[in-house]
Structure 1
């Protein structure tokens, strides 16, 4: 018997390649999602899913509590970079004037949130006008220093880091980090999306993922057919399944690619709340492409974020969503009486199964039926009624590519 931690690696790779082909997704971007993949029911939760940073693997078992968010890493980045003239501006201002200006600026934006809502250009104009008026009236010790500081302040906006640090004020403590789509928008788009049907045959499906973006056969995908537990029954059953040919018949009544972009450039309204832009892509590109002490206050943080083992190498750019789903997996293998008993008990207890692992619990919209035919072959059908979308995967981009585009 093969190593139980890798018993479904080949099966997962075949499923990954099949989805990429049938759904017309590039293996240079596609990552298969397994686990807790029911589309969140609120905009805040949808944004949380968009906000998660993907691991460097083609198949990821989605567990929200263990993932790192893009917004947290972006915030960390901005705390370790500076515009080249920031120190000169701070020296010219002095600590007491700087503190007073920060208080004035915060009060202004609390009273005038629309100054953030359209673009970096609108933000720049609002801040420059505010600073000019404030500095002439309040800045000490003399009008000459006000003119000097105003010149330095305007120069700061020539650098994207400064703009990003100002926009970051719109990112509320504790979240949510707003993205470009609301839950209602996504549901509306899914309702008119096209359908798709296809069948995977394990005998002919490729398991070669060497050309994928992750360039690795490793995955964090499900290791066992019914669960991720390492019991001997789970391992034996999974090994039996993986050792013989099988087919997977798939029907999606609606299938859609939903773009996921951190909110930038304009505001968005979700329910009764208006969220302001907090992300500035040019700053991410500038920080990535300028690994210098002039830009980074701590160069080790560049490696911690963008290096070979960095926490911010890839970002989610789209969610791949299906609605009205039906998936029937039929094995040609003969399962023993003990294995059949294990399958029925496990399925009845609400465990999700390969390829999605969405639980079959009382509060779930997904239902799983496990049967064995007269030849003791496994037949498992997993369905999710229309109006209950699941996320079958995501598209990712490397920060390196985003930095080049920026």
Structure 2
């Protein structure tokens, strides 16, 4: 499904205000801190009965925004950024490998970085990878010397961190519906913890009205109050809802109902993430820590706000289950318009867009007696959705 990119300015501005108002209602209803809460737009469903959806979102590098389109498959990965960080650092102590390799040192770094980009979940150790490169690129005498030097440094914290990132236990295998196997980095946020948290979590009542909403945001960020969808109705590839979006944007919208379960789920990386190396990098900007010959990045590219790859981390996922919510557009619609929306609004109706055609919640369209349109969303108890995240800025 394509994301809308050419909505009229008036509609886009209306949706930005709606998103800000919806953000404030959700934050208040779920008792969330507006200085650290990011509301997800466009990816409601967990879409799995295992931990894969939670791991994917936990590993996402979230944008600096109050409301954002959060599809983890389209976001950078924290595990990849962390691997690049380790690739930008010099090893602690030991004989200096650059002095032994000379001009070949930068080629080794390029080979190593490219290997991990192409094989992000490989279990190859640093020593094995280096020997593989040395066997191809160095003459026998230089190869023996270089491998000996590398082994001298193999027990440094940096090399141990790199090996922990490639250890078999760093990732977990999952199987797609078509039988394809894939691996994801492991986080503390798993499906068992999610369900347990929801079972002991809170309940909430939702009562949103665009005519009385608070559209100011306490936490203003560089991406503003919206990113992703700028329409009321998200059309399929064949549908065009320009007039319907305009019609809806000129009338009020309400969202009313209940959330039977909600909670926040703490998520942190498991043993593959070595915080000592992360903090060594954050606390030092000099060439004694950062490798001047590495092309993986520098302090600013990883930690500078707001766009550093590790400038912030997702610390908690905001989860909901067991809800019944009705969105009503108080414009007047004809029967043919309702049929068009029902048939072609494959991405959903504001604010419940879905990144895929298969969503975990059930949707029913109702053409009311007064001509207004209501869309009822129901999520059964036991099914889990991610509605957003709490985050912390580096170095936390």
TM-score, normalization by structure 2: 0.72
Alignment counterpart, residue 231 of structure 2, candidates 221, 224, 229: 224
Residue 388 of structure 2 is matched in structure 1 by 393
Q: Map Cα deviations across residues 204-259 of structure 1 (whole Å, 9 max, x no partner).
A: 211112x3162542522422223166988423222222222222113111111011
CA distance in 2, matches of 1:340, 1:49: 34
Higher helix proportion (structure 1 or 2): 1
Are residues 359 and 89 of structure 1, via their aligned partners in 2, closer, same or farther at CA, if it must alter by over 3 Å?
closer
Alignment counterpart, residue 84 of structure 2, candidates 67, 71, 76: 76
Deviation at 1:166, TM superposition (A): 4.7
1:197 and 2:205 correspond:
yes
Residue 103 of structure 2 is matched in structure 1 by none
Alignment counterpart, residue 304 of structure 1, candidates 297, 301, 305: 301
Q: Map Cα deviations across residues 357-391 of structure 1 (whole Å, 9 max, x no partner).
A: 13795x54322122222321221111111121111
Does the Cα contact within 8 Å between 2:329 and 2:374 map onto a contact in 1? yes
Does the Cα contact within 8 Å between 2:26 and 2:206 map onto a contact in 1? no
Residue 93 of structure 2 is matched in structure 1 by 85
Deviation at 1:46, TM superposition (A): 2.1
Aligned residues: 328
Alignment counterpart, residue 368 of structure 1, candidates 351, 354, 363: 363
Residue 242 of structure 2 is matched in structure 1 by 235
Are residues 283 and 360 of structure 1, via their aligned partners in 2, closer, same or farther at CA, if it must alter by over 3 Å?
closer
CA distance in 1, matches of 2:69, 2:164: 33
Are residues 218 and 364 of structure 1, via their aligned partners in 2, closer, same or farther at CA, if it must alter by over 3 Å?
closer
Deviation at 1:283, TM superposition (A): 2.1
Does the Cα contact within 8 Å between 1:194 and 1:256 map onto a contact in 2? yes
Residue 107 of structure 1 is matched in structure 2 by none
Residue 248 of structure 1 is matched in structure 2 by 255
1:56 and 2:64 correspond:
yes
CA distance in 2, matches of 1:228, 1:294: 54
Secondary structure of 1:342's aligned partner: helix
Rg: which structure is higher? Answer: 1
Residue 36 of structure 2 is matched in structure 1 by 29
Does the Cα contact within 8 Å between 1:89 and 1:153 map onto a contact in 2? no
Deviation at 1:31, TM superposition (A): 0.9
Residue 100 of structure 1 is matched in structure 2 by none
Gaps of 5+ in 2: 1-7, 101-143, 146-150, 173-181
CA distance in 1, matches of 2:237, 2:63: 22
1:164 and 2:161 correspond:
yes
TM-score, normalization by structure 1: 0.71
Residue 187 of structure 2 is matched in structure 1 by 179
Are residues 86 and 54 of structure 1, via their aligned partners in 2, closer, same or farther at CA, if it must alter by over 3 Å?
farther
Does the Cα contact within 8 Å between 2:254 and 2:329 map onto a contact in 1? yes
Alignment counterpart, residue 286 of structure 1, candidates 280, 284, 287: 280
The answer to which of 187-196 and 332-341 deviates more is 332-341
Residue 120 of structure 2 is matched in structure 1 by none
Deviation at 1:50, TM superposition (A): 0.9
Secondary structure of 1:25's aligned partner: coil
Q: CA RMSD in A?
A: 3.4
Deviation at 1:297, TM superposition (A): 0.7
Secondary structure of 1:12's aligned partner: helix
Does the Cα contact within 8 Å between 2:40 and 2:67 map onto a contact in 1? yes
CA distance in 1, matches of 2:223, 2:83: 30
Secondary structure of 1:33's aligned partner: strand
CA distance in 2, matches of 1:233, 1:341: 13
Deviation at 1:191, TM superposition (A): 2.5
Does the Cα contact within 8 Å between 1:352 and 1:359 map onto a contact in 2? no
